[in-house]
Amino acid sequence: MTTATRTDAALLRLIWLASPALPVGGFSYSEGLEAAVDAGLVRDEATAGDWLVEQLHLAQAEADLSIVPAAVQAWRTDDLARVRELDAWVRRTRETAELRLQSEQMGRSMGEWERSLAPAPDERAAWTYPVAFAHAAAPTEAAPRDVAMAYAFGWAENMMQAAIKAVPLGQGAGQRILLRLANDIPAAADHACALDDGQRQAFTPMLAILSARHETQYSRLFRS
């Protein structure tokens, strides 16, 4: 009989956290993608893949993805002042009400998921999503870079599914887009882990404009 190791437990925890089946609501947001489809900027598999790869590197890796490894380290050392600093950065860099709603709702849902597995103080439900994700991963022995890659892959799966519904695309096209994203995630995670507080930034004007437009879009599939 094989006995599970701590490494096994860490890997399985990351797979679990990256799963689109995790009840945090990531599937209900398109992060401006649906508005990009409405505006004709995303039309097919190629343009959807290009859009999401650029979003991975220009938006995720520069901002939320870089928060995850920093927050993992803060949680592991019980540095709550640092955790609050990182959480405050996420909140003040949301460029639209829609993006802030997403981060706060998913973070709250992550805290509720954690409490459903083991009772915990209510405070743990109050973090933004990157910080809450880091909290859920911190008890494992996973390297911060691996946690960042799990976070990025979970994001990629949700966005791939959003593209399938919004463009729309077939499942095969969705899997090819996910393959493109998966191939780029290690480099995005390396970049995110290398950023210090002075280098981290959230500056995606077109994404912010599309997110704002999505809030009043006449017909939409995703939450606003």
Instruction: Select from 224, 173, 130 the least CA-distant residue to 43.
Output: 173
To the question of pTM greater than 0.85 for the whole model, the response is yes
Q: What's the pLDDT score for residue 215?
A: 86
pLDDT at position 120, please? 64
Residue 192 lies in a domain: yes
pLDDT (0 to 100) of residue 20: 87
According to the model, what pLDDT value does residue 145 have? 97
Say if 146 falls within a structural domain.
Answer: yes
Residues 6+ apart with CB under 8 A from 173: 45, 48, 164
Is residue 41 classed as helix, strand or coil in its secondary structure? coil
* Domain assignment present for 8: no
Read off the CATH number of the domain in which 133 is found.
Answer: 1.10.4190.10
Residue-number span of the structural domain to which 176 is assigned:
25-214
What is the pLDDT, as a whole number, of residue 219?
A: 75
Decide if 1 is inside a domain.
no
Q: Which residues contact 128 (CB under 8 A, 6 or more apart)?
A: 87, 90, 91, 103, 104, 107
- What is the reported pLDDT for 121? 59
Q: At what angle do helices 171-194 and 45-55 cross, to 10 degrees?
A: 20
Residue 20 inside a domain? The answer is no
Residues 6+ apart with CB under 8 A from 61: 188, 189, 191, 192
Sign of CA dihedral 126, 130, 136, 140: negative
Judge residue 170's burial from the number of C-beta atoms within 10 Å of its C-beta, 0-12 exposed, 13-18 middle, 19 or more buried.
exposed
Q: Output the pLDDT for position 41.
A: 97
Can you say whether residue 94 is alpha, beta or left, with left for phi > 0 and alpha for psi between -120 and 50 degrees? beta
Q: Which residues of the chain have pLDDT under 70?
A: 1-4, 120-125, 224
What total number of domains does the chain contain? 1
The predicted structure's pLDDT at residue 84 = 97
Is position 2 within any domain? no
Give the helix ranges, DSSP H, for 167-202.
171-194
